[in-house]
Amino acid sequence: MISIQEALNIVLKKDYSVDSEIINFVDSLHRVLAEDVFSDINMPPFNKSAMDGFACRMLDINNELELIETIPAGKIPKKTVGVNQCSKIMTGAPIPEGADCVIMVEDTKILNNGNILFLKDKTKDNICYLGEDITENQKVLSKGTLIRPQHIAIMASVGKTKVLVAKKPKIGIIATGSEIVEPGNVPNQSQIRNSNAYQLISQVKSLAAIPNYLGIAIDSEEDTYQKIKKGLEETDLLLLTGGVSMGDFDFVPKIMQKAGVEILFDKIAVQPGKPTTFGIHKKASIFGLPGNPVSSFVQFELLVKPLIYKMMGCNSALPELFLPMKNRYERKRSERESWFPVIINSEGFVETLDYNGSAHINGLGPANAICRIELGKNCIEQGERVYVRPI
C-alpha cells in the first residue's frame, strides 16, 4: 500500500493549464493571482506625519515654538517652518518644508502667548518617509498568491482595480449508495441522509471553486456509469463518495475504468480513507472517496484540496502546526498513518475529542484541526509535539 505522501505526489504529478480571467479586485477574495502586481506609486507618496502634533526642527524642540499654520490631513502645507517655529499637523498630513520631526500633541502645552512648549527632552521624528513602505514599480504581490483581505488592501493601495486571477475550476460531486436520501427526507429504517455531498460542496466552495452537484447514484452499475460519464464531460475534477470498499455493490473503481479512467491508486495506508481511489481521464481527474463522512472530509483535506489549489496555480503553503498534546493518546493498531479530530485550545495545546471513528460526523463538530499520528506509532505522550492541520 502506498503512503499518503506517495498518493499526494501521484495526485499532484499531472500538469494543469491554469485558465485565467480579469475581475474587479474587490471580488478576488480567496481567488489565486495569475499575475504579479506592481505599484504605480511610492507609498507613502509624500513624507507623512505619523502623529497628531507639531512639525518643527529637531534642533528646536527644547525651545518655545511659534505656531505658524495648521495642516489637516489631505491639505498641502503653505508655509516653511523656520527656526523656533512649528506647524500644527494631523496624522497623515504632509510634513511642511523645513520641519524634520513631529512632537506629539500629548507631550506639549500651549503657553499664554500662544507659543508651543514641548514637555519632554527627546522625540522620535514621527515621520513616515516617502516610499518607505513601497517604491514605485515595486512588485507587491506574486503570481500564485491565495488572495486574502490584506492582499485586497495592497491592491487598493497600488491602484490595482482589475486583476488577473485563475478561473474557478468546476468540481463535480456524486454521492453513491441506494441507502442515501437527501437531507429534506426523513430516512426509513434502512436509509441514511446524504451528508457527504453537502460537505464536499462546502469544502469546494471554501476554496472558491465551483461545485457541480450531480446527485446520488444508486447502487446500479448503469446509474453509476451514466453519472460518472456526465461528470467527466462537465467538470475538471470529479469527486465521488462511497462505493470504493469491499462490498458486493462497491463497484465505483470498476465503473471508473469502464468510463475510460486510468486508475493510479486504489488504496492508501491511511486511516480514515484506506480505499481512496484516484484516476485520470483525458483532462479530468477523478477521486473515489470513501463513504463515511469523516473519511471523505479528511481525504478532501489531505489530497483534494492540494489538487484544487494546484489547478488554480496556487503556491501558498497550507499551514501545518507542531504543537504539544494536552493529554495522552493511544490507538491499538499502528499499520497506517492516522488522522483524528482535535481542538487546538487557547493555550496552544492539542486536545483529543470524543471520536468513535469515520462514521462519527458529529465527532468532527467541535474540532478546529485534524491531528496526525505516524505509521508504526501506537501512542502520543502528554506534552509530545504533534502535527496538526487547522480545518
Residues that bind Mg ion in the complex, under the rule CB under 5 A: 177, 242-243
- Cβ neighbours of residue 325 under 8 Å, at least 6 residues apart? 349, 350, 352, 380, 381, 382, 383, 384, 385, 386
Angle, CA 96 vertex, CA 123 and CA 91 arms, to 5°? 60
Residue 359: alpha-carbon gap to chain centroid: 27
- d(CA 333, CA 377) in angstroms, rounded, equals 8
Residue 143 near residue 313 (C-beta atoms within 8 A)? yes
> Which position has the grid cell 493529554?
327
Q: Which does 337 bind (CB under 5 to 8 A by kind): Mg ion, ligand AMP, none?
A: none
Residue whose CB is less far from ligand AMP, 250 or 337: 250
Residue whose CB is less far from ligand AMP, 197 or 207: 197
98 binds ligand AMP (CB under 6 A): no
Residue whose CB is less far from ligand AMP, 87 or 196: 196
Residue whose CB is less far from ligand AMP, 239 or 344: 239
- d(CA 155, CA 292) in angstroms, rounded, equals 42
247 binds ligand AMP (CB under 6 A): yes
221 binds ligand AMP (CB under 6 A): no
- Judged by CB under 6 A, the stretch of 110-118, 128-136, 165-173, 239-247 that binds ligand AMP is 239-247
273, 291, 313, 341: which one contacts ligand AMP (CB under 6 A)? 291
44, 94, 169, 242: which one contacts ligand AMP (CB under 6 A)? 242
3, 178, 245, 316: which one contacts ligand AMP (CB under 6 A)? 245
96, 272, 290, 341: which one contacts ligand AMP (CB under 6 A)? 290
Q: How far is CA 282 from CA 223, 226, 384, in A?
A: 22, 17, 45
Q: Which does 192 bind (CB under 5 to 8 A by kind): ligand AMP, Mg ion, none?
A: ligand AMP
293 binds ligand AMP (CB under 6 A): yes
Question: What stretch of H or E contains 95?
Answer: none
Residue nearest to ligand AMP (CB): 291
Q: How far is the CB of 37 from Mg ion (least distance, A)?
A: 47
243 binds ligand AMP (CB under 6 A): yes
Q: How far is the CB of 220 from Mg ion (least distance, A)?
A: 12
Residue 319 near residue 306 (C-beta atoms within 8 A)? no
- Rounded (10°) CA dihedral 368, 30, 10, 331: 0
| Site track for ligand AMP across 167-186, x = CB under 6 A | --------x-x-xx------
210: nearest Cα among 218, 202, 219: 202
- d(CA 283, CA 299) in angstroms, rounded, equals 22
Residue whose CB is less far from Mg ion, 53 or 177: 177
Q: How far is the CB of 304 from ligand AMP (least distance, A)?
A: 15
Q: Which does 279 bind (CB under 5 to 8 A by kind): ligand AMP, Mg ion, none?
A: none
Give 26's DSSP letter: G
- Judged by CB under 6 A, the stretch of 135-143, 192-200, 259-267, 335-343 that binds ligand AMP is 192-200
Q: How far apart are the first and last CA of the chain?
A: 27
Q: Which does 253 bind (CB under 5 to 8 A by kind): ligand AMP, Mg ion, none?
A: none
- Cβ neighbours of residue 112 under 8 Å, at least 6 residues apart? none
Torsions phi, psi of 13, nearest 5? -70, -40
Q: Which does 4 bind (CB under 5 to 8 A by kind): ligand AMP, Mg ion, none?
A: none
Residue 30 near residue 146 (C-beta atoms within 8 A)? yes
Strand partners, 70: 88
**Which residues of this chain interact with ligand AMP, rule CB under 6 A?**
175, 177, 179-180, 192, 194-197, 241-245, 247, 250, 290-293
